[in-house]
Structure 1
């Protein structure tokens, strides 16, 4: 029974790995992290994203065999750990997107919020730290292949310049000379253009 569960978690990890971000080696540490964060009952829902990373409600109902209410219930649970990201696309249709382990996914959503200092959270943090060492070792052994992969990855985030100066009432005193470097803003330069260009977008 335990072996079958491990296989199910490994299948889920493979699907999550294909969701984007940085590919993670399927080590025992990664599987243990997934076990700590995701209950067995949600593994079949993750498999619904095997062929398509982003889906509408109608597509998810077909791929998962679940009802609207069942999908929303699972999305609510998995969104809390950063595994599912749901938002309307440019046409106003809600899209449910499977997120990767890191860059940007489970790791960031787990640790970017305020966490209680509990034994469980400490264990998860230690597991992620161990996973980081395993990733580092794997990267060192496949450096050229990883560099080639990273060059093809879309940007994880983008800085949008503020076009309007707003008075805060506070003086900023700089008591030293500052060297002004060259700056280049690449198109698209506005938030509106970015939103129109992509169906999936997050603002942080």
Structure 2
């Protein structure tokens, strides 16, 4: 049984699958996003007991994030969740950051306390930024140049080669434009599906090297 305002879809077998509430629908950079749909996909990842999608910020700076409560006996890997989301959801529905918590706070009525989770996310993001203040090392000059390119695009210094670029603020628009610039500069058409599977400077460098070696599409 579903209530008015519940969002469901019918699967291939004809069964109704609950996605979430319509009152959790948000709009970010012109896209209407159902947070429950993101949560449903994340909850399908092994080791995830509960996932809560959040929206942080306002105006053009609004961003998606995901809080995950792992199984008590699971080793949580946010990259596994990120890769699962990348295979199912469009770029604009993928969270910029993913954090694990031991307990998801609830309101006195038993509902998920999203305001408390947002405050917690703010603290975790500050901690993450503090942890990123150490020395950044790159494999070669290509990674260093790509980090500089993304740094100019995102107005961020010291981009780490193995940290997902979406955590620095990369989104569909600047990803497409930057990859076009990469193609023009390096002569390599980077496959979007490969890059989105692991959107980091290190991955982009690997794809460029493969293209220059003739293992990917190369343009003149």
**TM-score when scaled to structure 2?**
0.23
Structure with larger RCO (C-alpha < 8 A, sep 6+): 1
Which has the larger helix fraction?
1
Larger C-alpha radius of gyration, 1 or 2? 1
**TM-score when scaled to structure 1?**
0.24
Which has the larger strand fraction?
2
